Amino acid sequence: MKLVTRDTDYAVRALCCMAEKKEGVVSVGELVKELKIPRPFLRKILQTLGRAGIVNSYKGSGGGFKLARPADKIRITDLITIFQGRVELNDCLFKKAICPNRAVCPLKKRIDNIGKHVESELSLITIGSLLK
Amino acid sequence: MKLVTRDTDYAVRALCCMAEKKEGVVSVGELVKELKIPRPFLRKILQTLGRAGIVNSYKGSGGGFKLARPADKIRITDLITIFQGRVELNDCLFKKAICPNRAVCPLKKRIDNIGKHVESELSLITIGSLLK
DNA sequence: CTAAATGATACCATGCTAGTATCATTTTGT
DNA sequence: ACAAAATGATACTAGCATGGTATCATTTAG
């Protein structure tokens, strides 16, 4: 029962590091040194973040990545959505009634409500709010 | 991001059916007819529930299964624990600090809190409470 | 023009989910 | 006694997701 996967995790760490640097671009190499995350994996993650518009990228010598917006405008839910798909606990189960003779599945409703709560709590967590 | 897996799902449905029957044993065959769950899979699930003490089993012709305790004493979290392991959202991630230079990972704490909430909400849901 | 960086993409190992398949054992009914 | 009907135990399997690796192409600073 995993709320965040490893790529989301690494993305959070990398973004925190980048946010702390305040300005200038940060290369994958620098991040690898600080975070001890496997380099090719981190590269892939940053490329994904780039495509998603979370970071801007700069090619060429001296290039790297930079947050595309303020750290407190980047929510954990944004990252979960990018790496794990839509934030919801339900995920296709319980689409039919629990027993065929029951019109609406009560369990689904209750799990949905719990999921809504989780989602709203998570969306309050931003990279900025993790920087202490 | 799946809160319940298919075996937990099926277990819930089967237990609901059994609870509705009120008394007497129910065989896998009967459950399969009502629930349209693949027979061998449902058998395995019920055997697991038997080992876990959720249902009692009766072998031989005319045998089957019966709830081992009242329906409202069977919580969803019991079933999740049986089929999916410990109920927690955190699952080994974020065990170290996000960045090595940060003593305690703030994200872990916040996710833990959300997890606690989910857990306590889930434990309020019982088979009995799903029977309308 | 070369070194240092990212872009795009294809590949791979492992583990988990969602089952299937079989044989052994127990119990009821005749 | 014996057959039928049920569960017990257990081994196996296909497909998919996770957590990566590996390569080659492209861009840019100096």
Q: Closest residue of B to A92, CA-based?
A: B2
Give pTM, 2 decimals: 0.89
- Residue nearest C22 (alpha carbon to C1'): B40
User: Following DSSP, what letter does each residue of A81-103 receive, concatenated?
Assistant: HHHH-S--S-TTTT-S-SSTTSS
CATH of domain B6-130: 1.10.10.10
With a CB cutoff of 8 Å and minimum separation 6, the contacts of B34 are A99, A100, B17
Three-class DSSP category at B67 = strand
pLDDT on residue A90: 61
Give yes or no for residue B88 having a pLDDT over 80.
Answer: no
- Please state the domain extents for chain B: 6-130
Do the Cβ atoms of B125 and A107 come within 8 Å? yes
Give yes or no for residue B102 having a pLDDT over 60.
Answer: no
**pLDDT single digits (tens) B25-79:** 999 999 999 998 999 999 999 999 999 999 999 999 999 999 999 999 999 999 9
Report whether A123 contacts A8 (CB < 8 A). Answer: no
Query: What count of CB pairs under 8 Å joins A to B?
Result: 108
Of A84, A106, A122, the CB nearest to B130: A106
Mean pLDDT of the region B102-123: 80
